[in-house]
Structure 1
Amino acid sequence: MHKKRRKLFILSGLLLIGGGTSAAEDPGRSGDDRPYGPMAKFTAVLEQVRHHYVTTNELRYEELVTHALDGMLQALDPYSRYMEDDEYTRMKDDMEGRFGGVGVVISSREGMLTIVAPIEDTPAFEAGLLPGDRIVAIDGDPVEGVSLDEASSLLRGEPGTPVKLKVYRPENESHLSIEIVRDEIEVSSVKDAAMAEEGIAYVRLTQFDEPAAERLREELRTLRDEGMKALVLDLRGNPGGLLRSAVTVSELFLDRGDDVVRVRGRREEEEETYRITRRPEYPDMPMAVLINGGSASASEIVAGALQDHDRAVLIGAPSFGKGSVQSLLPLDDGSALRLTTALYYTPSNRCIHEVGLTPDIEVPMEAGTWRRIRMAHLQEAEGGEPDAPADLQMERALGVLKGILIDRGRAH
């Protein structure tokens, strides 16, 4: 699952850049905003702590400065962080190797460690964790004040080892204790491709990994041979993945030259726009895209682009709102900063981060209901007797697409 670690970092748009910017070079700095006075105050406070704090002999300058850097970065947002040299080295190693985990994507909401979505077919999903659940404690230790990186590290471990979570579920204001056994995470990104009704196909994307676009392309070609005239693309519970995968999935449906997403930093020259560079295979096929509170990052990029270009009707519940880009800034001593340097914007200039997408047609559904629907589908696939509640979001999507196909038939 070191591969999974790599993907989770790319979910938030991790970049590696070098060098620095001096105060004189910063175009965003006002004339009276100079570092010298605040730095003098910082040094004075540092000396006061060193000379007067009760355990001064136990506090070295390096330790005090590290605490100050930690506080400064974490005060900016949940994703920015100062990493000492050993932590930075471990992070680079994680991006290359494999390790065990529970299969959940986490973020921070209202200062609480929040589950974006459990990845299907992973220990977290099977244990019953839901999008929006708040993690209160890991292995008995409260996580208040714990950074996202630290929480991720606590959730990781050797496959086969257990981790105990205390979870608060806002949906019904309940408190749960859940033990999960870690495993290596291997997930198929394209699932349940089938003809849902005559002329209307259904495909579900669970994540945007490297092969997602090609697998989707293959499934759609098979469905086209089976008579597909319209498509329901299900992005519910999809926490995201690779930006380039989101772009290549969008290429299947958007016209050449269409914008997919803008990545915008604080300086004008830092904006980058990702556009479609090839002809689409399905330029006119009616589409409905299903989203919910577990749809995040790359899912929101694809759904937002299809919505802005009037290529699909978004149906379901508002998405999560995870659209920031973190850059790695290495320092000379081997440590590094992970700093939020840009945000994602849809083609119509909507900011995704902490806002999310609003469906064209809202069909509310509790996270627990959506999970029961998924579990029933898994039971059916294994030959069991499914007992699923009605999927009202899917029913609405089918109704919309039927109406579009009928209108097109009349037009001809």
Structure 2
Amino acid sequence: MGHLAGTWLRRIGLTAVAFAGGAVSSHLAGATSQTQSPYAPIEQLARALALVENQYVEPAQRNKLIEGAVKGMVAELDPHSAFMTAEEFSQFQEETGGRFGGVGVEVDYRNETPTVIAPIEGSPAERAGIRSGDQIVAIDGKPTRGERLDKLITLMRGPAGSKVRVLIRRPGVTEPLNFELKREEIRVTSVVAKRMEHDVAYIRLKQFQEGTHEELLQAAGKLRAASKSPLAGVILDMRNNPGGLVDEAEGVADEFLGSGTIYSTRHRNVVVDEARATPGGAFSSLPIVVLVNEYSASSSELVAGALQDNKRATVIGTTTFGKGSVQTIYELPGGAGMRLTTMRYYTPSGRSIQAQGVQPDVVVQAAKGDKLAEVMRESDLEGHLAPEGASGGKPRPVLVGGGEGSEISRDVPADPRKGKDFVLSLGYETLLKEARKGR
């Protein structure tokens, strides 16, 4: 059993009810009210199961029916609780472990089309020549249009050594491109670090998976070994970080704090736990700037909120996604699993992030004329947990020139002021000013 604070930023659901060219036969037998009995819901489920097994037009498999009933029951709770089949649970465990069989591409929807954000360095996709911006038209001959992103990711994954065919449409190229890729075990690193000019450490956290805290400590050692000069400060970039494992996020936050609360959790309005920082963190004495955006969710919001409330960092960017709940992972018989929302988490000052997000200290608004994608946050998801408390606070300074329209750098320049990433450039300038004040 483990705890997860992650998110799925795109949920696409289709419900169809058709009464076309047919007849409806109604049998209303034995509809006795049993609302007083605690066993009434179970009796109703058993009755429905018997009717489907005996009266459905085609023979139905009982295990599939039960599986569907459990899925529907859990899905009714909130957008982040889910029953997972054995296959789905296995894939989920691979994702949180940072290893899976696949071709090595980061994919997201852009203009309603699954698009390659970036191939993973050294992966089959990168070696084959797949590029950022490539649109995935078909996978093994199956068109991708209209399919859920998680299903497309499942189609591209598989045992190492197996092959998958991917049809690509590339901007500027007339004909579609065919790629046959051999899957390999992909190891996704969650921490990217670089030492910039003026001794600024840039650390990007992609997600919180098994080993993220250890990766951060290794990065800290390399950053310090890269020069005899001490580090002047840290830019912690958590833009597009969807969250992940809570214990890893707690460990990461602890490296930036010397004392104080990291977060607290409540179950049915009762405090369950309070995580506190310990002395001696790897970056606990350095100035920090945190970069976030609307796709920073859950565990990344937990870390941003902890550093902001403890006055350890200036947070820059756009208001975050707003997922303030924790999911506990349960193993079920037959290899299945369940992701169940069991707690809400709160920042050190008692703020609830749920359906509100973390508001940056400096809000960066997209420049006028930038083409903006439709932004979906927790509050837009059907069935989300209600927010608690006020979301306002003090008005924040607003700067125009980036945010949702800002290009997030993959190859970070030594001096971000010379690059296209407005938010990173702003964070760099802010950190340099804070470092000079501390001298």
User: Is TM (by shorter chain) over 0.5?
Assistant: yes
Unpaired runs of 5+ residues, structure 1, are 1-5, 14-31, 168-175, 381-385
More helix by share: 1
The DSSP-based 3-state class of the residue aligned with 1:397 is helix
The DSSP-based 3-state class of the residue aligned with 1:82 is strand
TM-score when scaled to structure 1? 0.66
Which amino acid is 1:262 matched to?
Answer: S
Match of 1:244 in 2: 247
Alignment of 1:303-382 (within 5 A): 303-331=304-332, 335-363=336-364, 364=366, 365=402, 369-371=406-408, 373-375=409-411
Which amino acid is 1:395 matched to?
Answer: S
What is the alpha-carbon distance in structure 2 between the residues aligned to residue 51 and residue 203 of structure 1? Answer: 60
Match of 1:276 in 2: 277
The DSSP-based 3-state class of the residue aligned with 1:211 is helix
- Superposed displacement of residue 39, structure 1: 3.0
**Is residue 2:193 matched to residue 1:204?**
no
Unpaired runs of 5+ residues, structure 2, are 8-34, 170-175, 367-401
Q: 1:83 to 1:247 in 2, by over 3 A?
A: closer
Match of 1:128 in 2: 132
How much is the aligned-residue C-alpha RMSD, in angstroms?
4.7
| Alignment counterpart, residue 254 of structure 1, candidates 254, 257, 262 | 257
Map Cα deviations across residues 85-141 of structure 1 (whole Å, 9 max, x no partner): 676678779988964125578999xxx9999x86853678964369xx9x9986526
- Superposed displacement of residue 314, structure 1: 0.8
Map Cα deviations across residues 27-60 of structure 1 (whole Å, 9 max, x no partner): xxxxx986423333333333443443322xx024
Conserved in 2, the CA contact under 8 Å of 1:119 and 1:237? no
What is the alpha-carbon distance in structure 1 between the residues aligned to residue 357 and residue 168 of structure 2? Answer: 27
Which amino acid is 2:233 matched to?
Answer: A
Match of 2:391 in 1: none
Which amino acid is 1:289 matched to?
Answer: V
Match of 1:19 in 2: none
- Superposed displacement of residue 163, structure 1: 5.7
Q: 1:332 to 1:222 in 2, by over 3 A?
A: closer
Conserved in 2, the CA contact under 8 Å of 1:102 and 1:156? yes
- Superposed displacement of residue 195, structure 1: 3.3
Q: 1:76 to 1:318 in 2, by over 3 A?
A: same
What is the alpha-carbon distance in structure 2 between the residues aligned to residue 118 and residue 73 of structure 1? Answer: 34
- Identical pairs, percent: 33
The DSSP-based 3-state class of the residue aligned with 1:158 is coil
Alignment of 1:7-406 (within 5 A): 12=6, 35-55=38-58, 58-84=59-85, 99-103=100-104, 121=121, 127-128=131-132, 140=142, 153-159=154-160, 161-162=163-164, 164=166, 181=181, 182-197=183-198, 200-208=200-208, 209-222=212-225, 225-256=228-259, 258-266=260-268, 268=270, 271-331=272-332, 335-363=336-364, 364=366, 365=402, 369-371=406-408, 373-375=409-411, 390-406=420-436
What is the alpha-carbon distance in structure 1 between the residues aligned to residue 82 and residue 304 of structure 2? Answer: 29
Q: 1:78 to 1:143 in 2, by over 3 A?
A: farther
What is the alpha-carbon distance in structure 1 between the residues aligned to residue 359 and residue 196 of structure 2? Answer: 27
- Superposed displacement of residue 241, structure 1: 4.4
The DSSP-based 3-state class of the residue aligned with 1:100 is strand
What is the alpha-carbon distance in structure 1 between the residues aligned to residue 249 and residue 95 of structure 2? Answer: 23
Map Cα deviations across residues 322-342 of structure 1 (whole Å, 9 max, x no partner): 554333445567655332222
Q: 1:396 to 1:245 in 2, by over 3 A?
A: same
- Superposed displacement of residue 311, structure 1: 0.6
Q: 1:302 to 1:337 in 2, by over 3 A?
A: closer
Conserved in 2, the CA contact under 8 Å of 1:207 and 1:241? yes
- Superposed displacement of residue 272, structure 1: 1.9
The DSSP-based 3-state class of the residue aligned with 1:288 is strand
Which amino acid is 1:158 matched to?
Answer: P
- Structure 1, 360-369 or 137-146: larger mean CA deviation: 137-146
Q: Name the count of aligned residue pairs.
A: 356
